[in-house]
């Protein structure tokens, strides 16, 4: 049995510690830290809260803890004053603690970060107030300013982050728009890739776990239907290097592959976001590119069983975002540990095809 020595140490070191629970005096707060250093979608869910803080308190310095894998998407965000990079786990824990201590953080919002590191880090940097929702099952919640709060069923992940802001007097929830501020250089490669007079329909076939993936034969069938439907429709394959086998499998088996552009694994994260921005529609799984598309105002058709539309589907009054949600067929759902996502067979190519055709006229 492997023992987490650092976790044991912090359980011992922090067990008698307590933090201030008096009412937060926002006038005494100079620097606010937002921890959101996990996946792309989880970080994008935090951007409405970051924007709300800066709009309400423009004089406060906003420091955001980001994952080095995806921070390029957020480096141009005008609501962020400083970025600190951290992959999570213990490897760089102390280096990041020392870096953050020098910034004089008074208040920390843990919006989405890995435990058991996040709360001990927030305490060790000298943050007077630490806020985290939900935190009812967190072993270090005695260090949180808020009392234990559980996740609400049917609550969107953006609302979960915005709820934290109520402790500093921000109660408005009018704008759920997620923020990406693209660098013009991102588009230099994309403009040459998508130079024809086509309607571009993106396919995001890869996901972080098998439980979230549709079957390759379904994607191939959908591609054939779409390309046969309209000669001006072109399919663009998005994704990371790990998705290249899927993209090649589709491209090699589709009869009209002259109208299939394979970009999977060929772009850095910034140009990949620019590519999604240029699409007329993205057909995707419940994964990061879904939320990039929402931030870029690109319509989406998402496919999911393990994920939840009420928690993660993009919110927009003007841009269509269809979430094809099917019921879970296994009890309990293994989600990340799933080895055979038979539940995804419930999603038919005809159903996806119908939604695509309704959006792309």
Q: For the segment 271-296, what is each residue's pLDDT rounded down to a tens digit?
A: 999 999 999 999 999 999 999 999 99
What's the mean per-residue pLDDT of the chain? 93
Among positive and negative, which fits the CA dihedral 13, 15, 16, 18?
A: positive
| CATH 3.40.50.2000 at 5-168, yes or no | yes
Q: Please identify, in words, the CATH class of the domain defined by 186-359.
A: alpha beta
Query: Beta strand pairing status for 300-304 and 281-285?
Result: parallel
- Beta-carbon contacts of 241 under 8 Å, excluding residues fewer than 6 positions away, are 264, 265
Could you tell me if 178 and 295 are in contact, meaning their C-beta atoms sit under 8 angstroms apart? yes
Q: What CA–CA distance (Å, rounded) separates 325 from 247? A: 24
Q: For the segment 91-131, what is each residue's pLDDT rounded down to a tens digit?
A: 999 999 999 999 999 999 999 999 999 999 999 999 999 99
Could you tell me if 18 and 162 are in contact, meaning their C-beta atoms sit under 8 angstroms apart? no
pLDDT band, residue 211 (cuts 50/70/90): confident
pLDDT of residue 331: 80
Residues of the chain above pLDDT 70, percent: 100
Q: Where exactly does CATH 3.40.50.2000 map onto the chain?
A: 5-168, 186-359
Could you tell me if 238 and 271 are in contact, meaning their C-beta atoms sit under 8 angstroms apart? no
Q: For the segment 46-80, what is each residue's pLDDT rounded down to a tens digit?
A: 999 999 999 999 999 999 999 999 999 999 999 99
Q: For the segment 294-315, what is each residue's pLDDT rounded down to a tens digit?
A: 999 999 999 988 888 888 899 8
Burial of 109 per CB tally in 10 Å (0-12, 13-18, 19+): buried
Neighbouring CB atoms inside 10 A of 94's CB total: 12
pTM: 0.94
1: pLDDT strictly greater than 70: no
């Amino acid at each position: 049995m492997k023992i987490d020595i650092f976790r044991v140490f912090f359980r011992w070191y922090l067990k008698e510690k307590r933090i201030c629970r008096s009412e937060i005096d926002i006038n005494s707060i100079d620097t606010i830290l937002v921890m959101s250093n996990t996946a792309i979608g989880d970080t994008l869910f935090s951007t409405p809260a970051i924007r709300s803080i800066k709009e309400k308190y423009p004089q406060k310095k906003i420091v955001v803890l980001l994952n080095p894998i995806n921070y390029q998407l957020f480096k141009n965000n005008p609501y962020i004053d400083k970025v600190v990079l951290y992959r999570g786990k213990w490897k760089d824990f102390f280096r990041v603690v020392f870096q953050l201590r020098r910034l004089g953080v008074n208040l920390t919002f843990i919006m989405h970060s890995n435990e058991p590191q996040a709360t001990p880090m927030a305490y060790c940097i000298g943050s007077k107030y630490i806020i985290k929702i939900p935190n009812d099952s967190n072993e270090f919640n005695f260090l949180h300013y808020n009392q234990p709060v559980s996740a609400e069923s049917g609550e969107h992940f953006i609302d979960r982050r915005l709820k934290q802001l109520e402790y500093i007097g921000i109660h408005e929830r009018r704008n759920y728009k997620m923020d990406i501020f693209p660098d013009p250089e991102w588009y230099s490669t994309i403009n040459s890739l998508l130079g024809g007079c086509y309607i571009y329909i993106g396919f995001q076939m890869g996901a972080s776990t098998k439980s979230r993936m549709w079957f390759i034969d379904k994607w191939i069938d959908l591609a054939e239907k779409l390309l046969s439907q309209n000669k001006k429709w072109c399919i663009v394959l998005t994704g990371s290097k790990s998705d290249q086998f899927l993209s090649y499998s589709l491209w090699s088996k589709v009869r009209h592959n002259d109208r299939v552009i394979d970009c999977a694994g060929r772009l850095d994260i910034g140009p990949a976001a620019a590519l999604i921005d240029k699409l007329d529609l993205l057909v995707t799984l419940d994964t990061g590119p879904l939320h990039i598309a929402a931030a870029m105002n690109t319509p989406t058709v998402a496919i999911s069983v393990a994920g939840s539309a009420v928690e993660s589907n993009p919110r927009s009054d003007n841009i269509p975002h269809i979430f094809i949600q099917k019921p879970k067929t296994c009890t309990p759902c293994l989600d990340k540990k799933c080895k055979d996502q038979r539940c995804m067979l419930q999603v038919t190519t005809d159903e996806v095809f119908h939604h695509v055709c309704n959006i792309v006229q």
